[in-house]
Amino acid sequence: MEGCGYEVFLSFRGPDTRMAFTYHLYTRLTDAGVHTYKDDEDLRVGEEIGPNLLGAIEQSKISIPIFSKNYASSKWCLKELAQMVECWKRKGQVIMPIFYYVEPSEVRYQTGGYGEALLVHENKKRVDDESFRKWRAALSEVGGLKGWNIENGANRHEGQLIKEVVTKVLSELKKAYLVVSDFWLVLTNL
Protein backbone atom coordinates (compact mmCIF):
# COMPACT_ATOMS: atom_id res chain seq x y z
CA MET A 1 0.00 0.00 0.00
CA GLU A 2 2.65 2.45 -1.04
CA GLY A 3 1.62 6.07 -0.86
CA CYS A 4 -1.00 5.48 1.83
CA GLY A 5 -0.46 7.22 5.13
CA TYR A 6 -0.70 4.78 8.00
CA GLU A 7 -1.82 5.96 11.39
CA VAL A 8 -0.25 3.08 13.33
CA PHE A 9 2.67 0.76 12.61
CA LEU A 10 2.84 -2.51 14.56
CA SER A 11 6.31 -4.03 15.03
CA PHE A 12 6.35 -7.58 16.40
CA ARG A 13 8.15 -10.91 16.27
CA GLY A 14 5.80 -13.06 14.22
CA PRO A 15 6.25 -16.44 15.89
CA ASP A 16 5.79 -14.86 19.36
CA THR A 17 2.60 -12.83 18.90
CA ARG A 18 1.28 -12.84 15.29
CA MET A 19 -1.61 -15.28 15.71
CA ALA A 20 -2.83 -14.07 19.10
CA PHE A 21 -2.02 -10.74 20.75
CA THR A 22 -0.93 -8.87 17.61
CA TYR A 23 -3.87 -10.21 15.61
CA HIS A 24 -6.36 -9.06 18.27
CA LEU A 25 -4.71 -5.64 18.63
CA TYR A 26 -4.69 -5.16 14.85
CA THR A 27 -8.35 -6.21 14.60
CA ARG A 28 -9.44 -3.84 17.39
CA LEU A 29 -7.51 -0.94 15.85
CA THR A 30 -8.91 -1.50 12.36
CA ASP A 31 -12.43 -1.99 13.75
CA ALA A 32 -12.02 1.42 15.41
CA GLY A 33 -11.18 2.92 12.00
CA VAL A 34 -7.43 3.22 12.55
CA HIS A 35 -5.38 2.64 9.37
CA THR A 36 -2.87 0.14 10.77
CA TYR A 37 0.18 -1.51 9.18
CA LYS A 38 0.89 -5.12 10.14
CA ASP A 39 3.43 -7.08 8.12
CA ASP A 40 1.88 -10.45 7.28
CA GLU A 41 4.89 -12.08 5.72
CA ASP A 42 6.36 -14.91 7.76
CA LEU A 43 9.77 -14.71 6.10
CA ARG A 44 11.35 -11.80 4.32
CA VAL A 45 13.64 -12.49 1.39
CA GLY A 46 16.80 -10.47 0.89
CA GLU A 47 19.14 -8.56 3.14
CA GLU A 48 17.52 -5.13 3.37
CA ILE A 49 14.17 -3.95 4.69
CA GLY A 50 11.96 -3.27 1.70
CA PRO A 51 10.93 0.27 0.81
CA ASN A 52 7.28 -0.47 1.60
CA LEU A 53 8.15 -1.36 5.18
CA LEU A 54 10.36 1.70 5.68
CA GLY A 55 7.68 3.83 4.07
CA ALA A 56 5.00 2.44 6.38
CA ILE A 57 7.08 3.37 9.43
CA GLU A 58 7.88 6.80 7.99
CA GLN A 59 4.23 7.57 7.18
CA SER A 60 2.80 6.37 10.47
CA LYS A 61 1.78 8.77 13.21
CA ILE A 62 2.22 6.17 15.96
CA SER A 63 4.53 3.15 16.19
CA ILE A 64 3.78 0.30 18.57
CA PRO A 65 6.68 -2.10 19.13
CA ILE A 66 5.49 -5.28 20.86
CA PHE A 67 8.56 -6.43 22.79
CA SER A 68 8.23 -10.19 23.20
CA LYS A 69 10.69 -12.84 24.31
CA ASN A 70 12.35 -13.22 20.90
CA TYR A 71 11.89 -9.68 19.49
CA ALA A 72 15.62 -8.88 19.70
CA SER A 73 16.59 -12.11 17.93
CA SER A 74 15.12 -10.66 14.72
CA LYS A 75 17.32 -8.20 12.86
CA TRP A 76 14.18 -7.03 11.05
CA CYS A 77 12.49 -6.07 14.32
CA LEU A 78 15.62 -4.21 15.41
CA LYS A 79 15.84 -2.37 12.07
CA GLU A 80 12.18 -1.38 12.42
CA LEU A 81 12.81 -0.14 15.96
CA ALA A 82 15.81 1.94 14.88
CA GLN A 83 13.68 3.48 12.10
CA MET A 84 10.91 4.28 14.63
CA VAL A 85 13.40 6.08 16.88
CA GLU A 86 14.73 8.04 13.91
CA CYS A 87 11.17 9.16 13.03
CA TRP A 88 10.50 9.97 16.70
CA LYS A 89 13.54 12.24 16.88
CA ARG A 90 13.19 13.77 13.43
CA LYS A 91 9.45 14.40 13.28
CA GLY A 92 7.96 13.66 16.68
CA GLN A 93 6.36 10.34 15.80
CA VAL A 94 4.76 8.77 18.89
CA ILE A 95 6.13 5.44 20.13
CA MET A 96 3.89 3.37 22.44
CA PRO A 97 5.78 0.25 23.58
CA ILE A 98 4.12 -2.93 24.79
CA PHE A 99 6.24 -5.26 26.92
CA TYR A 100 4.74 -8.69 26.24
CA TYR A 101 5.93 -10.98 29.03
CA VAL A 102 9.25 -9.10 28.99
CA GLU A 103 10.41 -6.66 31.66
CA PRO A 104 11.01 -3.11 30.37
CA SER A 105 14.40 -3.13 32.11
CA GLU A 106 15.44 -6.18 30.04
CA VAL A 107 14.80 -4.15 26.88
CA ARG A 108 16.28 -0.90 28.19
CA TYR A 109 19.49 -2.42 29.55
CA GLN A 110 19.69 -5.38 27.13
CA THR A 111 19.86 -8.04 29.82
CA GLY A 112 18.54 -11.61 29.80
CA GLY A 113 17.27 -12.80 26.43
CA TYR A 114 17.76 -9.35 24.89
CA GLY A 115 21.43 -9.28 25.83
CA GLU A 116 21.90 -12.82 24.56
CA ALA A 117 20.19 -12.05 21.23
CA LEU A 118 22.36 -8.98 20.67
CA LEU A 119 25.47 -11.02 21.44
CA VAL A 120 24.46 -13.51 18.73
CA HIS A 121 23.97 -10.70 16.19
CA GLU A 122 27.32 -9.19 17.15
CA ASN A 123 29.23 -12.49 17.06
CA LYS A 124 27.77 -13.47 13.70
CA LYS A 125 28.56 -10.01 12.29
CA ARG A 126 25.00 -9.69 10.97
CA VAL A 127 25.28 -5.92 10.60
CA ASP A 128 27.87 -3.17 10.56
CA ASP A 129 28.96 -1.51 13.81
CA GLU A 130 26.91 1.66 13.20
CA SER A 131 23.66 -0.29 12.71
CA PHE A 132 24.41 -2.36 15.80
CA ARG A 133 24.98 0.83 17.82
CA LYS A 134 21.63 2.20 16.58
CA TRP A 135 19.88 -1.03 17.65
CA ARG A 136 21.32 -0.81 21.16
CA ALA A 137 20.46 2.89 21.44
CA ALA A 138 16.90 2.29 20.16
CA LEU A 139 16.34 -0.52 22.68
CA SER A 140 17.65 1.71 25.48
CA GLU A 141 15.52 4.68 24.52
CA VAL A 142 12.25 2.86 23.82
CA GLY A 143 12.78 0.52 26.77
CA GLY A 144 12.79 3.63 28.95
CA LEU A 145 9.47 4.95 27.63
CA LYS A 146 6.22 4.55 29.50
CA GLY A 147 4.20 1.77 27.94
CA TRP A 148 2.14 -1.29 28.82
CA ASN A 149 3.54 -4.34 30.53
CA ILE A 150 1.95 -7.79 30.38
CA GLU A 151 3.70 -9.97 32.92
CA ASN A 152 3.48 -13.65 33.70
CA GLY A 153 0.77 -14.20 36.28
CA ALA A 154 -0.52 -10.65 36.05
CA ASN A 155 -4.16 -10.07 36.88
CA ARG A 156 -4.69 -7.90 33.82
CA HIS A 157 -6.37 -9.71 30.94
CA GLU A 158 -4.82 -9.18 27.49
CA GLY A 159 -8.20 -8.08 26.12
CA GLN A 160 -8.38 -5.30 28.70
CA LEU A 161 -4.88 -4.15 27.79
CA ILE A 162 -5.76 -4.11 24.09
CA LYS A 163 -8.78 -1.95 24.91
CA GLU A 164 -6.53 0.47 26.81
CA VAL A 165 -4.06 0.62 23.91
CA VAL A 166 -6.83 1.33 21.37
CA THR A 167 -8.27 4.04 23.63
CA LYS A 168 -4.85 5.69 23.96
CA VAL A 169 -4.22 5.46 20.20
CA LEU A 170 -7.59 7.04 19.47
CA SER A 171 -6.87 9.77 21.99
CA GLU A 172 -3.52 10.47 20.31
CA LEU A 173 -5.17 10.51 16.90
CA LYS A 174 -8.06 12.53 18.35
CA LYS A 175 -10.64 10.24 16.83
CA ALA A 176 -14.02 9.51 18.24
CA TYR A 177 -14.54 5.83 18.93
CA LEU A 178 -18.17 4.97 18.41
CA VAL A 179 -19.22 2.01 20.50
CA VAL A 180 -22.55 0.50 19.50
CA SER A 181 -23.97 -1.45 22.38
CA ASP A 182 -26.33 -4.40 22.16
CA PHE A 183 -28.94 -2.19 23.82
CA TRP A 184 -28.77 0.34 20.97
CA LEU A 185 -29.02 -2.43 18.40
CA VAL A 186 -32.14 -3.76 20.13
CA LEU A 187 -33.73 -0.30 20.13
CA THR A 188 -33.06 0.24 16.43
CA ASN A 189 -34.57 -3.11 15.52
CA LEU A 190 -37.91 -2.42 17.23
Q: Which of 52, 20, 48, 27 is nearest to 39 (CA)?
A: 52
Helix, strand, coil distribution of the chain in percent, nearest 5: 55, 10, 35
Q: What is the DSSP letter of 20?
A: I
Is residue 68 within 8 Å of 102, Cβ to Cβ?
A: yes
Residue type at 116 in one-letter notation: E
Q: Is 80 a catalytic residue?
A: yes
Of residues 2, 41, 48, 80, which has the active-site annotation? 80
Give SS3 for 122.
helix
Q: What CA–CA distance (Å, rounded) separates 44 from 65?
A: 18
User: In terms of DSSP bridges, do strands 36-38 and 62-67 run parallel, antiparallel, or are they unpaired?
Assistant: unpaired
Active site residues: 80
